[in-house]
Structure 1
Amino acid sequence: MNLRDLSYLVSLAEHKHFGRAAQASFVSQPTLSTQIKKLEDELGVALVERTPRKVLLTEAGREIVARAREVLTEIEQIKAIARHTIDPESGTLRLGIFPTLGPYLLPHVVPQASERFPRLELLLVEEKTDALLKLLREGRLDAAVLAEPIHDDQLHAEFLFEEPFLLAVPEHHELAKRKTLKLDDLSDQSLLLLEDGHCLRDQALEVCELSGASEKSGFRATSLETLRQMVAANVGVTLLPTLAVKPPVARSENIHLVQFRGHAPSRRIAMFWRKSSALTPFLKKFVAVFRELPRTLLDPHTLPDPAPHSAQKTRARVAPRPRHRLKEMPSR
């Protein structure tokens, strides 16, 4: 038995297909199949059930795969200790982040991380929270940026920042006239929410419970951008995190953003990693990149100016442009 064969078995368990597992392992399908058969012969038990369409693990196979993952994770930890002993700020960092945060936070973090740790290779994985936790526990991620709370005694958490929410309403909605809101002002509103599996959905439902608001029935979005477009199309109102409305994100037309008075509803963001990780000393340094973000980035009071189309409409009422001139596109 060797580590290579264990890695083939784990790959087969993940892909449930010899061809895809071989491709992921950078070997031919006959090679992977032969090594799995040799492993079965050595152990004296069947590890997989070969069906015409997919591969199923036997009961023994599932138990051995679980142990094999632990072994391979420990081997990676040993290699990581050696790499970071030689050069603590080099090597590869596999970092997970969830979809309603990644596209809005990473443009601010990645350049700073590259400047601070120029020899570090940062591999980013964007998945929903449950998938990231699974990858983290299995050792396939070194750390993950997630929304609190996460209840797992095996994981260490480092708080990064708190991100307030704003209410996004159509341009001519009754609440668009308000400069600020109280939670109680949402009591008669139906909010557009994300589909199940997004942590932002759970956070929005908590706001609904506190304010007396409800979920708009018949619609669930797959992304924040879908929510944004639905608000712009006058379908309803929703909650948006502050980072999702800050540059370089383009300000959407026909959307008005309203801040909450006092302590706004928000989400707490932290970085999680395994308590047993050999990368702990470095990860504590890496956390500083997130904590040093400009305060204005997370401040809903410093929103960008509204999209220029509104000002153009105002000017047009006073002095219409000549018809032969090209229409000026809103800046992004």
Structure 2
Amino acid sequence: MEWQQLEYFQMLAKIQHMTKAAEKLSISQPALSRSIARLEDELGVPLFERQGRSIHLNRYGELFEHRVERILNEYQLGLKELQQLVDPNHGEISLGFLHTLGTNIVPDLIRLFRTKHPDIHFSLKQNYTHLQLKHLLSGDLDLCLMAKMDVPKPIHWTELWRDELFAIVPSDHPLSKRSSITIHELANESFILMKPGYALRLQADHLFEQAKFQPHITFEGDEVSTVAGFVIAGLGVSILPDGLEINQKGISKLHITGMNAERIIGMAWSEGRYLSPAAKAFQQFIFDYFDKQQPS
């Protein structure tokens, strides 16, 4: 069975006149008749009742027409979706990003990008780094904004920017009036940290390892705002980047001296996996955006 036979059948079923249907299809009437005859032979049943020049669907034809209509509609829909995917001004981009980037950075990037590409849509997944990597490997994500870490092949990661990490203490803490401290001055404090696996937790653990002390952890959270809230409540201190998700009232942010207290954020994608023109356009937009942010 050929795809063309289904299109010919659909036209003849709609017009129910062999000559007129052939004219609509820009083929000869005998060619249309032969195509329909071959289709009926392959199906093993007649699809039309023929009485002289009159032709109309029989009960087999009516049943088959419904199926053919669905098949052709699905084909047209699939064709349209593929055309949108390969059109850099249309399509959908699947983007993953860290929880802490969802307050302002990712919304701002998407807003700026869509001023020039209003017909491109985004599928967003907000999660911690390990899960983002799984989604990249499975093909569920096109691009991902995530912290620096060892990534398996074929994932490729490129640095975009760096955020300073601060010691966060309650505003009534003895250290709160200081502008900076060393991390060793927090060795005897109770810590409120992100749960294991989160990028911020990995970076905090790296700082503790450098300082050669094991922190006393009283609470582990899923959200930066929750961690900051527990700090405000006086339940401990933390190490976090600055950001809108942190309630600035009730806390003090202290620079950490004597080490590079920072997190490095970059973009990751799976090398060798197909990226649509829309995804490539957004990828280049991100590179260009952060290149402009670098001091000259």
For residue 176 of structure 1, what is the aligned residue in structure 2? 176
- CA distance 1:192–1:216, shift in 2 (3 Å): farther
Alpha-carbon distance, 1:124 to partner: 0.9
Alpha-carbon distance, 1:288 to partner: 2.8
- CA distance 1:258–1:271, shift in 2 (3 Å): same
- CA distance 1:181–1:79, shift in 2 (3 Å): farther
1:200-279 correspondence to structure 2 within 5 Å: 200-242=200-242, 244=243, 246=244, 249=245, 251-261=247-257, 264-279=260-275
Give yes or no for contact 2:156–2:270 (8 Å, CA) kept in 1.
yes
Return the alpha-carbon distance in structure 1 between the equivalents of residues 155 and 132 of structure 2. Answer: 13
- CA distance 1:81–1:154, shift in 2 (3 Å): farther
Give yes or no for contact 2:167–2:237 (8 Å, CA) kept in 1.
yes
Alpha-carbon distance, 1:147 to partner: 0.8
SS at match of 1:204: helix
Alpha-carbon distance, 1:250 to partner: 6.3
Give yes or no for contact 1:187–1:212 (8 Å, CA) kept in 2.
no
Alpha-carbon distance, 1:164 to partner: 1.1
- CA distance 1:233–1:113, shift in 2 (3 Å): same
Alpha-carbon distance, 1:235 to partner: 0.8
Return the alpha-carbon distance in structure 2 between the equivalents of residues 214 and 92 of structure 1. Answer: 45
For residue 191 of structure 1, what is the aligned residue in structure 2? 191
Return the alpha-carbon distance in structure 1 between the equivalents of residues 249 and 292 of structure 2. Answer: 27
Total equivalences in the alignment:
214
Return the alpha-carbon distance in structure 1 between the equivalents of residues 247 and 214 of structure 2. Answer: 26
1:26-37 correspondence to structure 2 within 5 Å: none
Give yes or no for contact 2:188–2:216 (8 Å, CA) kept in 1.
no
- CA distance 1:146–1:250, shift in 2 (3 Å): closer
Higher strand proportion (structure 1 or 2): 2
Give yes or no for contact 1:135–1:141 (8 Å, CA) kept in 2.
yes
For residue 290 of structure 2, what is the aligned residue in structure 1? 291
For residue 124 of structure 1, what is the aligned residue in structure 2? 124
Give yes or no for contact 1:179–1:258 (8 Å, CA) kept in 2.
yes
Return the alpha-carbon distance in structure 2 between the equivalents of residues 215 and 109 of structure 1. Answer: 36
Give yes or no for contact 2:179–2:254 (8 Å, CA) kept in 1.
yes
For residue 156 of structure 1, what is the aligned residue in structure 2? 156
Provide TM-score, normalisation by structure 1: 0.57
Return the alpha-carbon distance in structure 2 between the equivalents of residues 190 and 206 of structure 1. Answer: 17
| AA aligned opposite 1:205 | D
SS at match of 2:159: strand
Alpha-carbon distance, 1:148 to partner: 0.9
1:47-196 correspondence to structure 2 within 5 Å: 83=84, 85=86, 87-196=87-196
- CA distance 1:293–1:107, shift in 2 (3 Å): farther
- CA distance 1:155–1:89, shift in 2 (3 Å): farther
Give yes or no for contact 2:231–2:238 (8 Å, CA) kept in 1.
yes
For residue 282 of structure 1, what is the aligned residue in structure 2? 281
Structure with larger Rg: 2
Give yes or no for contact 2:190–2:218 (8 Å, CA) kept in 1.
no
Provide TM-score, normalisation by structure 2: 0.63
State, as a whole percentage, how many aligned pairs show the same letter.
25
Q: Which runs of 5+ in 1 are unaligned?
A: 1-77, 297-332
Which deviations, in whole Å up to 9, do the C-alpha atoms of 1:23-62 show, x marking residues without a partner? Answer: xxxxxxxxxxxxxxxxxxxxxxxxxxxxxxxxxxxxxxxx
Return the alpha-carbon distance in structure 2 between the equivalents of residues 150 and 222 of structure 1. Answer: 22
| AA aligned opposite 1:200 | L
Return the alpha-carbon distance in structure 1 between the equivalents of residues 248 and 113 of structure 2. Answer: 29
Which deviations, in whole Å up to 9, do the C-alpha atoms of 1:250-272 show, x marking residues without a partner? Answer: 64321111123476411111111
- CA distance 1:295–1:165, shift in 2 (3 Å): farther
- CA distance 1:133–1:220, shift in 2 (3 Å): same
| AA aligned opposite 1:256 | S
Return the alpha-carbon distance in structure 2 between the equivalents of residues 115 and 129 of structure 1. Answer: 29
Return the alpha-carbon distance in structure 1 between the equivalents of residues 238 and 253 of structure 2. Answer: 10
Return the alpha-carbon distance in structure 2 between the equivalents of residues 108 and 263 of structure 1. Answer: 31
Give yes or no for contact 2:165–2:262 (8 Å, CA) kept in 1.
yes
For residue 60 of structure 1, what is the aligned residue in structure 2? none
Give yes or no for contact 1:191–1:213 (8 Å, CA) kept in 2.
no
Return the alpha-carbon distance in structure 2 between the equivalents of residues 115 and 198 of structure 1. Answer: 32
